[in-house]
Amino acid sequence: MSDLSIREYFPFSRVKITKQSVLVEDKLAMIYMEPDKRFTPICHICGTRTERVHSRDVRTIRDLSLALVVIRLVCWFRTVYCAQCDSFVVEDLKFVRPYQRVTRRLAKYIHELCKVMTVIEVADHLSLDWKTIKNIDKDFLEKEYGDTDYSGLKILAVDEIAIRKGHNYMTVVLDYETGRVIWMAEGRSSDTLKTFFRGMSKDQIQELEAMAMDMWDPYIKAVQDEAPHVKIVFDLFHVVAAFSRVIDKVRMEEYRRASQEEKDVFKGAKYLLLKNRSRLNRDEKAHLSNLLSLNQNLFILAILKEKLKTLWKFNRRGWARKALTAWCAIASLLGNRTVNTFIRRMKKYAYGIINHCQYPIHTSRLEGVNNKIKVIKRKAYGFHDNRYFTLKVKQAFDY
């Protein structure tokens, strides 16, 4: 008599295997199970034992495959009356969650696969519906990352990321010291960021010291309203990018005033003014030199752009303030309306530039995070479920 048994492959308590059916050509095995009457039914909600069985129902459940064979469990469930819950509930058989069509161990396997594969790839691999895969993975992620972890936060960075066309954004908050994505939410308004702060206790807010961001008024207002003691630090990259747009506007003004011969020099010079000098090749450097020697205003703006970057190199607030005042004074000599608007902006936000002396932080780390988030989004061909997208991002940056 053979001692071989399939029961060792299904070490589930509270049920017993009654028979099996193998369809070799279909690579499918059906394992039939029913509740073991030696165990008293347990309410899946509160865990209370109950003897009152109301009815029985059968359900087919997908389990881990065995070799090349797909395993389906045909299992009977009992509906019982739970006095504690005062309702009729499905009994808890432990190896499968009530109303779910996959075993707990298959669900765990799906979650592990989703760490390295897309939902569609996992669905194709297991021949399951992609919505089933997504919901299983999301359920695990909710347990791991559903609650925002505000512990140990001191230095933060905040920025927005576009999630789809049509000015749809999500706000991303990063723990600057660890690189961990703490929080994400749809929108980039003041109320959006305030929601982040309102999830913190008063003690946790008081532990915050600084936050890096660009010159976006809604974010500034949120910090000033909810955590006024936090030092706001403006990022060099965003300020230089804003000044580059000013240079381009002035370039177009100067182009319209130039003679036809001078216009030939202006042509193709847009990106020469915006690029860093170190990234220009020999021909581009020659073209830029011709342009700057031709137009004094653009020559001054090119110098101002390089000087602007030095404002973030000071480590003393007094020196940084004097350098910023001098920069604004030189820029005002141009008498250009577009430049003057930028000067007023620099004076308005001077505190965020000077704060860099005390907290030499920037959002470039968050820019790297945003690039990785975009890769996650592209891999999945976009996310229609922003909550799931948020959880996947948190998982990706859980160092």
Highest mean pLDDT among 156-165, 224-233, 304-313, 390-399: 224-233
pLDDT digits (tens, 9 = 90+) for 371-393: 888 888 777 655 678 899 899 98
pTM for the predicted model, two decimal places: 0.79
Residue 140 to residue 364: CA distance in whole angstroms: 31
* Average pLDDT estimate for 359-377: 79
What CATH number matches the domain at 155-235+362-396, 3.30.420.10, 1.10.260.40, 3.40.50.720, 1.20.1250.20? 3.30.420.10
* Average pLDDT estimate for 197-208: 95
Q: At what angle do helices 296-310 and 317-332 cross, to 10 degrees?
A: 170
Buried b (16+ CB within 10 A) or exposed e, 210-247: bbbbbbbebbbebbeebbeebbbbbbbebbbeebbebb
CB distance 163 to 184 below 8 Å:
no
User: Domain map of the chain by residue range?
Assistant: 1-101, 104-145, 155-235+362-396, 236-357
Distance in angstroms between the alpha carbons of the first and the last residue of the chain: 54
pLDDT higher than 60, residue 298: yes
pLDDT digits (tens, 9 = 90+) for 41-61: 888 888 889 888 888 889 999
Mean pLDDT taken over the chain: 87
Question: Can you give the pLDDT at residue 291?
Answer: 63
Read off the pLDDT band of 1 (50, 70, 90): very low
pLDDT higher than 70, residue 109: yes
Question: Can you give the pLDDT at residue 380?
Answer: 66
Nearest to 95 by CA among 82, 87, 105, 86: 105
Question: Can you give the pLDDT at residue 343?
Answer: 94
Long-range pairs of 237-244 with CB within 8 A, sequence gap ≥ 24: 237/362, 237/363, 237/364, 237/367, 238/214, 238/363, 239/214, 239/215, 239/308, 239/346, 239/353, 240/305, 240/308, 240/309, 242/215, 242/342, 242/345, 243/304, 243/305, 243/308, 243/342, 244/273, 244/274, 244/305
Q: At what angle do helices 282-294 and 296-310 cross, to 10 degrees?
A: 120
